[in-house]
Structure 1
Amino acid sequence: MIAKIIYGQTCTGTLNYVLGKEGVQVLGYGNTFSQSISPKFFGSVLYFQGQRNATKNRYAHICLNLPHGEHLDDRTFYKISEEYMENMGFGHQPYIVVRHKDTKHEHVHIVTTIVKEDGKVLPIYNSHRRSMATRQQLEKKYCLTPAPTMRRKEQLPIHRLPKLKVGADANQGTRYYLRDVLNTINQRYKVCSFEELARLVKPYHIEVKTRENKSGRIGVKYGLDNQKGYRTSFINGSEVHRNLSGPKLQKVFDIHSKSKLLPIHRKRLLKQIGTTYDLFQTIHPYDLEEVAKEYQNIDIKLDKNENLIEGYTVYDKSMYVFRARELSQKIRMQNRLDIFGNGNEPTQIDTESKQFKLEVQKTIREALTTSYLQSPKRGGLLSEHIATRNFGDIVPNLNTSEKFRFLESYVPETKKGKFRKSLHDTFTLVRARLYELETKKEKAALQNKFNLIGKVLKNKIFNVGTEQGSVRLLFQALGVKYHNDRLSFTNSNKHAVPVKLGKLSFPKEMENYVSSGFVRQNHLMLEMLSEQSSERGPKLTAAGMFLPMIFPKLYKRMNPEYKTRYENLALSAYIKHAERRHAPFEKSAKDYIALFNAKGFYFVKGEEGLRVKSIYTGNESSHTLSRRTSLYLSSIPNLTETLKEQQPVINNLVEDRRNRLENLWSGHLIERGVYDKVAFMLTAEKVYPNLHREMVQHHMDNGLRQSIIIASERQSSIQQNQVLRKGAYAISSILGGSSTNTEEMYNGFKDEFTDFAKNKRKSRGMGLPW
């Protein structure tokens, strides 16, 4: 099911459209004193209530669409509409539900207002996220086909042209199609003119006419070539949709055409297309689309007129659309007959060209790097790996390389042997250059780490020193080691920076294994704390929250002032990540709070707005929410009482000893779908996820339950099987009960998690009480 929401300043045009279609059916009214009122009377009620506030987006037009072939009876569709409006916060507003039958897919229109009876407005913050979560909940409850989660890339539905009609209602069947195509085109591309818009919609049988009046105001009309040359009468753009009128489209076109990025995109495309021409000796015109896509990842479509190729159009990743002659006359097919004018000659690479030699070098360089990254026992630095490779070592990587396959497919058959020989002959040169380049990078990286260590020690971010060797904890967390007055990478002795620390003892315990990914995050975090990071550099990710779990001995020595700064930065990065993860489950502002509460985060009021804190950080540490999010949460009735209701949930997590980062990490892995690792943590280590029950249930159904069962079957001893099954039983307990089959399967397995949860809080789950 697809849900669309449009907010507007008036409702008359919307109601005329919704109620003006042939065969419309009013399924019911929401929050009116009777179901027997007329649509005209309802329109008056809606209009007068909406006029009680001067806000621009005072009316809402919602459309719920089923996929082709899916059917719901009127009663069920109205019930779904009621639940959707309730979850979206419109449950107490007057609204009308109208069913349309003018398209092949069943759908209803809902019209309401965000203005309440007292003249105040409903908060519509995060309405898209709330709509997505509500839609997914209804899809699951009523067994509806889920809507795609990514923007569609397929062609627009040309086959869904309205049926041929004659008479006064002929235009009624075309408006929806016109609006669907035109809106989609304008969302998909950054159109710069009406002429460009006309070209883009021409394949969908739409004609665009414009007219400029004396004052320079542009009006636009749309016509539809319906069937067999029959054309509907032209419809004013404002009648199709208010955003498709001439003046409003012109404003959008002006913004796109005056963008400072437009010349940059043009220059880039010219270089990419020029490079393609330099590589090939001949290109068959019909192969250009495939060649450009494979070689430069450029979407090109040939412009044809009765099978005669007139040129081509580039649909750029920047969402701009360029015709070849608009980019440059030099790249037009008519002006490059040396490449395109060879009749039916097949597409062939020029093996004598400079560009071909460059592509051979790139292919070898990519294979060398890939062989290092895919090495099962990767050790040492990339430069060390390169120095020990022979051509035969990278042949398997070449055979799987897309770049190699592309070049080989267009090299003439008579020159394929020469192509392979050129790879072999060029290997030594490329290896030497890449070795030199990587060596230079590695030296700079090591020096950067040395400088960062000096800054960290100077600022006393950690209470470490040479006594008892605690400074080694800092070295290890940055991926370096100290030996014989030299600082070098942990996995290599090739490069070194002199550091005269004398004989440095080792601390009692060092970390056994340090992930390179966490080393990078720790490096970035320390750069931020020592103010060495740049705005253009890499950004801190949610993994920054777990640095004290990965480097516990080091972060225990963090000075309080820097610890608070670290925790603020880590909270900020994690909250942004969690908001994206919560989007499919968040149906209201209360859900926003509940999802974070289940993870161990809670919200408090501050001078600058709402702040979020956690059970994993100090009481002084917090992250101030954005103004928009603060307004969103402030829309909760009796927000103060809602914030008080957080405390029992947070207290329960602390009392259950689930205020460790390991519990948050377990939930983080579940959200990422790393179910095998989670199954081990749940069972062998008895680390249970801090995650809302609804999210846990989703992942259990999505494969987590199966991972636990598989892990159980792999164990050889009865004791190990019991441990694994206890983990699955604990997850079932988190969800608030289990089915009969689950109880039988895990009958007799108990652990401390279920025992003390049962004794202390028999009816408590992971989320908030509501």
Structure 2
Amino acid sequence: MVAKIESGKSLIGALHYNERKVKAGKAKLIMAQLYPNEPGHLSFDEKLFRLTDLASRNFRTKTNTVHLSLNFDLSENLTPETLCQISESYMDRIGFGQQPFLVYQHFDAGHNHIHILTTNVDADGTRISLHNIGKLKSEPARKAIELEFGLVKAEEQLKASQNIQQIKPLIYGMIDTKRAMTNIVNHVAQAYKFTSLPEFNAVLAGYNVMADRGPKETVMFNQGGLRYWALDENGVKTGIPLKASSLYKKPTLKLLNERFKLNEFLRKPFKGAISKSIDKALAKSTSHQCLKQHLAGDNIELLIRKNPEGRIYGLTFIDHQNKVVFNGSDLEKGYSAAAIESTFKTNRKPQAEIDTAMLSQVAAGGQTNKQELTSTSFDLLGDLLNPVDQSNSQNLFEKKKKKKRKKLRL
């Protein structure tokens, strides 16, 4: 079992999240602890008021929402009754046994999981501390419940998830867009080290997703808003975008900006390794396509950035092995788009041009000695001096015999 605890400031927002799932047929309220009525007989206002009534008893506590999830292994098909028992045991062990809480069973993922909503303000207005609750209370509770109910241990779930690639590119219209987009965005944000929105998008594009701030003249852009689009097979936006704040864990621009700063330091140790791979691939490449193929052998993806006119203005390298993203210019000057194009031209330089340059140097009295010319150079020199077919040379250079003048007879 894997337990995740999120705290927030909006009870109504967390309740709306779960209730929308219920209306869409993707969740069901299976338990309402310390509520006056059974789950099926509670209105939205009754569910909310029970929690807000407690939260209002401590106005100094702004973070008054606790929204947690318990996730089970794919092999575990637990009944609603068992899920309720697990919820009750877990909440009691972390110090929320006397709090009212709502338990929702969700059906929007491959594995069985539940969401629990409550508040950390008790009946007498005392705030229940959430400081280090994960390590001090949740972890011991999780381990005890795994033994009590014979559940798959979290460590085994993590090992299994590492062996199975669960994150796949989004195919719009085939599956729940919001769920797929949430999984993709959170996976990329946590696994990869990027330092800008374009670098973030470079990885997201591989999963058919794009983070978009909107046009510069819009209110959304000026207020730091962010939305996520699904992309079709041609990389074109499709469907309706989703606000970052509507996704689980809320991958907003503000949150990403914090990741950008942290990743500046986290990706530094991998700079040398990716540079060596690029150098090795560049040495035998004469085009971007050729470079792409050579880099793919080291599990490095090359993305070419072009302006509307089709001119290449930048290159992005994604190291999928070490999960780091670098723009070429961020590595070194020699890895910029212009510098790499110059390298391609040098690699494409014909041998004849090199030989001609050597001959010019010899003719000009340069430092190169005739003895240093290659056999190819001698062949070229011979062709220059003898441009005519040898088979005709005898006829062309044969001396004509002088005709004898006939003497006139008198």
TM-score class, shorter-chain normalisation, is 0.5 to 0.7
Structure number with larger C-alpha Rg: 2
Aligned residue number for residue 121 of structure 1: 127
User: Conserved in 2, the CA contact under 8 Å of 1:27 and 1:78?
Assistant: yes
User: Conserved in 1, the CA contact under 8 Å of 2:72 and 2:113?
Assistant: yes
Aligned residue number for residue 325 of structure 2: 321
Aligned residue number for residue 217 of structure 1: 223
Aligned residue number for residue 48 of structure 2: 43
Correspondences of 1:164-203 after superposition (within 5 Å):
164=174, 173-203=176-206
- SS of 1:218's partner is coil
Per-residue deviation, 1:322: 0.8
Aligned residue number for residue 112 of structure 1: 118
Correspondences of 1:468-507 after superposition (within 5 Å):
none
Per-residue deviation, 1:255: 3.1
Aligned residue number for residue 155 of structure 2: 148
Question: 1:78-129, CA deviations, whole angstroms, 9 ceiling, x for partnerless residues?
Answer: 1111111111211111100011212222221111111111111112233222
Aligned residue number for residue 86 of structure 1: 92
Per-residue deviation, 1:304: 8.1
User: Conserved in 2, the CA contact under 8 Å of 1:28 and 1:96?
Assistant: yes
User: Conserved in 1, the CA contact under 8 Å of 2:277 and 2:295?
Assistant: no
| TM-score after normalising by structure 2 | 0.65
Aligned-partner Cα distance in 1 for 2:226–2:300: 29
User: Conserved in 2, the CA contact under 8 Å of 1:84 and 1:134?
Assistant: yes
Aligned-partner Cα distance in 1 for 2:347–2:134: 48
Q: % of aligned pairs identical?
A: 22
Paired AA for residue 234 in structure 1: P
Change (3 A) 1:288 1:93: same
Change (3 A) 1:288 1:227: closer
Of 126, 146, 158 in structure 1, the residue corresponding to residue 168 of structure 2 is 158
Change (3 A) 1:64 1:222: same
User: Conserved in 2, the CA contact under 8 Å of 1:163 and 1:226?
Assistant: no
User: Conserved in 2, the CA contact under 8 Å of 1:162 and 1:177?
Assistant: no
Per-residue deviation, 1:253: 5.3
Aligned residue number for residue 238 of structure 2: 231
Aligned residue number for residue 145 of structure 2: 138
Paired AA for residue 42 in structure 2: S
User: Conserved in 2, the CA contact under 8 Å of 1:193 and 1:253?
Assistant: no
Aligned residue number for residue 67 of structure 1: 73
Per-residue deviation, 1:60: 0.9
User: Conserved in 1, the CA contact under 8 Å of 2:170 and 2:230?
Assistant: no
- Larger relative contact order (C-alpha < 8 A, sep ≥ 6)? 2
Aligned-partner Cα distance in 1 for 2:231–2:282: 41
1:4 aligns with 2:4: yes
Aligned residue number for residue 25 of structure 1: 28
Change (3 A) 1:49 1:223: same
Return 215-224 or 42-51, whichever deviates more: 215-224
Question: 1:623-668, CA deviations, whole angstroms, 9 ceiling, x for partnerless residues?
Answer: xxxxxxxxxxxxxxxxxxxxxxxxxxxxxxxxxxxxxxxxxxxxxx
Per-residue deviation, 1:8: 0.4
Aligned-partner Cα distance in 2 for 1:191–1:209: 16
Paired AA for residue 177 in structure 1: A
Of 241, 252, 258 in structure 2, the residue corresponding to residue 252 of structure 1 is 258
Per-residue deviation, 1:202: 1.5
1:205 aligns with 2:211: no
Aligned-partner Cα distance in 1 for 2:222–2:35: 46
Aligned residue number for residue 330 of structure 1: 334
Per-residue deviation, 1:273: 2.3
Aligned-partner Cα distance in 2 for 1:163–1:136: 39
Of 236, 239, 250 in structure 2, the residue corresponding to residue 243 of structure 1 is 250
Aligned-partner Cα distance in 2 for 1:78–1:201: 37
Paired AA for residue 269 in structure 1: K
Aligned-partner Cα distance in 1 for 2:281–2:202: 31
User: Conserved in 2, the CA contact under 8 Å of 1:314 and 1:324?
Assistant: no
Per-residue deviation, 1:341: 7.1
- SS of 2:228's partner is strand
Per-residue deviation, 1:226: 7.8
Correspondences of 1:332-371 after superposition (within 5 Å):
334-337=341-344
Per-residue deviation, 1:311: 6.6
Task: Choose between structure 1 and 2: higher helix proportion.
Answer: 1
Per-residue deviation, 1:270: 4.7
Change (3 A) 1:334 1:181: same
Aligned-partner Cα distance in 2 for 1:159–1:191: 19
Unaligned runs of 5+ in 1: 166-172, 292-298, 343-770
Aligned residue number for residue 63 of structure 2: 57
Question: 1:358-383, CA deviations, whole angstroms, 9 ceiling, x for partnerless residues?
Answer: xxxxxxxxxxxxxxxxxxxxxxxxxx
Per-residue deviation, 1:243: 3.2
- SS of 2:141's partner is helix
Aligned-partner Cα distance in 1 for 2:346–2:147: 55
- SS of 1:92's partner is coil
1:269 aligns with 2:265: no
- SS of 1:46's partner is helix
Paired AA for residue 157 in structure 1: I
Aligned residue number for residue 738 of structure 1: none
Aligned-partner Cα distance in 2 for 1:238–1:114: 23
- SS of 1:91's partner is coil
Aligned-partner Cα distance in 1 for 2:240–2:168: 19
Change (3 A) 1:335 1:142: farther
RMSD over equivalenced CA pairs, Å: 3.9
Change (3 A) 1:71 1:300: same
Change (3 A) 1:118 1:227: farther
Aligned-partner Cα distance in 1 for 2:346–2:123: 71
